[in-house]
Amino acid sequence: MMTPLVATLVGVPAVSVTPLDCAGPNACDIVSVYTSVFWIAMVVLVIVGGLLVYAALRFRRTDDREPAQVHGNPRLEILWTAVPLVIVSFLFVRTTRPASAR
């Protein structure tokens, strides 16, 4: 009987085959866009994760008092609308540039 470890090791090819190996000009463009999107996503992940940990530690419940209720923050709302707009605009330009270069 084959154990899962042996099955996994037998299924691993001796040659490194990844989706990031360019086989042609279109593939290289796709890998370039993929890499850009990946690193932008990693930056967003680190920022959001850090803010989540900060908020959990900073605003954890300490007593039963009702906190002050705040409604609306125009600067923050503009910021969380503008940042995704900039990211999506960058990705739009980054994605269409290789297609228009041909």
Long-range contacts of 45-51 (CB under 8 A, 24+ apart): none
98 in Cβ contact with 32 (< 8 Å): yes
Over residues 58-86, the mean pLDDT reads 87
Question: d(Cα 9, Cα 46) in Å, to the nearest integer?
Answer: 33
Whether residue 98 has pLDDT greater than 70: no
pLDDT tens track for 23-48:
877 888 888 888 889 999 999 999 99
Higher pLDDT, 69 or 86: 86
R_g of the chain, CA atoms, integer Å = 23
